Structure 1
Amino acid sequence: MIKVLGLGDNVVDKYMHIKTMYPGGNALNIAVLARLSGIEVGYLGVFGDDEAAKHVYKTVSDMGIDVSHCRFYHGENGYAEVRLDDGDRVFIGSNQGGVSKEYPIDFLTDIELDYIAEYDVCHTSIFSYVEESLPQIRKASGFVSFDFSNRYDEEYLKKVCPYIDMAAISCGDMPKDEIIEEMKRIEEYGCKHVVMATRGSKGAFLRIDGKLYEQSPYLVEAVDTMAAGDSFITSFLINYISGMKDCVDFPEKAGHRGITTKEEYQDALIKTCLYRAAVFAAGNCQRDGSFGYGKKFD
């Protein structure tokens, strides 16, 4: 069984129309959703000391997520203001990360690096303010996943891509040929293995070692699309990394019945992982917030 670490942003998503806040944030979501899938996980991030921070911290602690290496500061936790339009979440404001931006994780201690090295996967994001510590994270982690959302530019890609194994981007209504060119550009800038492009209700594209895959969505009537992309990323990550631990070439004398090569196995695994990710993401759209646990606020 693999272990997954979320490193970076945590927030509350404040649903203004019902005055309810839900824990969230890309790095935290990946950790929580992996935990809900039965994976051993940890989270390393920055918390404030307001009611939002207390709610997020208590929620993830009670879920059995290791938060022993988190940092704490006096100030406002990150938050986003949200409304729902027929089940589709729409961001209408934020405090830009709160204490996470004011006190970024721009340097990691040896103790923290040893902690990161305990995990098979370290996931972080463009919202996490960890760009300066990426060279350290790269040395400590066997697999680094990074979510760029749709907020990046060319210079940002050049800065981040050399230190990551997997990139995820959000592409919405972008034409297919433009998405593929964007994915190739991320590879050229140094992303070492996987590039994922999520498209909401249009599905997803994936390039692994230069080979293109496409996955249709499992369409459902969504209660809330918050963290739909995060849930797709999480499911693919944990199933792919777990599955690739079994990837071997059979000896020639074994014959060629069924799957007997690494290439054949990886191809079948990728397609299965994409299928499972689509189903998992659809299921998560039946929850309120990123993963539930709402709390009223004034």
Structure 2
Amino acid sequence: MAEKRVFVVGSLNADHRVRVRGIPKPGETVLGSDVIVAAGGKGANQAVAAARAGANAVLIGATGADRDGDLVRRTVAEEAVDARHVRVHADTPTGRALITVDINGENTIVVSPGANSSLADGDIDAGLQAATCGDLLLLQLETPEPLVRHAARRATSAACTVIMNAAPVPRSIQGLFDDVDILVVNQHELAEIADLLRDSTNDAEGGDDMAVLAAASGATVVCTAGDAGAFVTHDGAVEHIAAAAVDAVDTTAAGDTFIGYFAAELSAAEHSTIAAVQTAVAASAIAVTRSGAIDSIPYRHEVEGKP
């Protein structure tokens, strides 16, 4: 599909997923299904999504030298992802995500970072050494923010396009978006970050959330909106891309599928931002009809409706 590469600096986790009838309220105990353990983490998910979309994906991250780490590395190795820059830490456990999914496909996720927090600037420099003009870098915030900032600066110095998935929502955004070209958030993240920006400027109003984030970051803002599709700032306005109606089973990797496909489309020079969002929306609509994280990510031929 594309000669340019999609570099991904991010988390590699073992997902421990339980299905429940309803997400428990504070203080409530509910019974769930047997635990299913599978590879995940925003970094791994997005790299696999980009690879399945046809991009040349390079993953930079870390796992522990444990059973969870073996599972994650083995799963990524089975995909067309260059994982030579995934470090194995002997004394730190692999990151773990505790996921509950209800009968409507909605989920809650708690992440214990583990080895993801052991990634260092030197790992980033080594992984991005071959990055060059026109390549893309995907970032998320399941790895330490100083590391994310360093990776963004390193990629910008190499004239790469930097895409940040600002999830989970950062505690501080001072300078976080300085080297970011495209910000991808969901509706909850958009609202929380916009409120943080208003608080930092003592602006009680400040316009709608998309405008606030676009103005503060200087980046193109893409907001995923579940079954409503996505919104993107484009030519001074906000454009809406609708999603096909589907029966959602599990939304766990919908956002990661969107971002991986979005980056893969951008890595092909003939695709515009709007066209990339359209393809990403179609891919994520397929992902939510399936259970799991990596298991739910569609291949390109499925998105294109080919056998």
Band the TM-score falls in, shorter-chain normalisation: 0.7 to 0.9
How many Å separate the matches in 2 of 1:174 and 1:57? 32
Q: 2:211 aligned with 1:184, yes or no? A: yes
1:118/1:207 CA distance change after superposition, 3 Å: closer
SS for the counterpart of 2:110 is strand
1:212-227 matches, cutoff 5 A: 212-227=238-253
How many Å separate the matches in 2 of 1:284 and 1:15? 16
The letter for the 1-side match of 2:214 is E
1:283 is aligned, of 266, 283, 286, to: 286
Q: Summarize deviations over 1:148-182 as a string: whole Å, max 9, x none.
A: 135135x32x321111111111114988xx79733
Q: 2:91 aligned with 1:91, yes or no? A: no
Deviation at 1:107, TM superposition (A): 4.3
| Equivalent residue number for residue 159 of structure 1 | 175
SS for the counterpart of 1:292 is helix
How many Å separate the matches in 2 of 1:184 and 1:49? 44
The letter for the 2-side match of 1:104 is L
Deviation at 1:292, TM superposition (A): 1.4
How many Å separate the matches in 1 of 2:10 and 2:134? 15
Deviation at 1:195, TM superposition (A): 0.9
Give TM-score, length-normalised by structure 1: 0.78
Does the CA contact (< 8 Å) of 2:168 and 2:189 recur in 1?
no
1:77/1:30 CA distance change after superposition, 3 Å: same
The letter for the 2-side match of 1:143 is T
Q: Give the stretch that moved more between structures: 120-129 or 210-219.
A: 210-219
SS for the counterpart of 1:116 is coil
1:149 is aligned, of 167, 176, 186, to: 167
1:132-281 matches, cutoff 5 A: 132-133=149-150, 134-149=152-167, 151-153=169-171, 155-156=172-173, 158-172=174-188, 181-192=208-219, 194-208=220-234, 210-242=236-268, 245-246=269-270, 269-281=272-284
Give TM-score, length-normalised by structure 2: 0.76
1:10/1:37 CA distance change after superposition, 3 Å: same
1:39 is aligned, of 32, 47, 55, to: 55
| Equivalent residue number for residue 292 of structure 1 | 295
Deviation at 1:207, TM superposition (A): 0.9
2:120 is aligned, of 105, 124, 127, to: 105
1:116/1:27 CA distance change after superposition, 3 Å: farther
Does the CA contact (< 8 Å) of 2:169 and 2:189 recur in 1?
no
Deviation at 1:236, TM superposition (A): 2.5
Q: 2:79 aligned with 1:53, yes or no? A: no
Q: Summarize deviations over 1:182-210 as a string: whole Å, max 9, x none.
A: 33333333344x21111222322101353
How many Å separate the matches in 1 of 2:265 and 2:168? 25
How many Å separate the matches in 1 of 2:167 and 2:115? 21
| Equivalent residue number for residue 12 of structure 2 | 10
1:141/1:55 CA distance change after superposition, 3 Å: farther
Deviation at 1:110, TM superposition (A): 4.9
Deviation at 1:270, TM superposition (A): 4.1
Structure 2 residue runs without a partner (length 5+): 19-32, 196-206, 297-307
Identity of aligned residues (%): 21
1:62/1:169 CA distance change after superposition, 3 Å: same
Structure 1 residue runs without a partner (length 5+): 247-265, 294-298
The letter for the 1-side match of 2:158 is A
How many Å separate the matches in 1 of 2:168 and 2:228? 16
The letter for the 1-side match of 2:7 is L
How many Å separate the matches in 2 of 1:138 and 1:8? 17
Deviation at 1:38, TM superposition (A): 2.1
1:119/1:45 CA distance change after superposition, 3 Å: farther
How many Å separate the matches in 1 of 2:162 and 2:291? 29
Does the CA contact (< 8 Å) of 2:125 and 2:154 recur in 1?
no
How many Å separate the matches in 2 of 1:235 and 1:65? 14
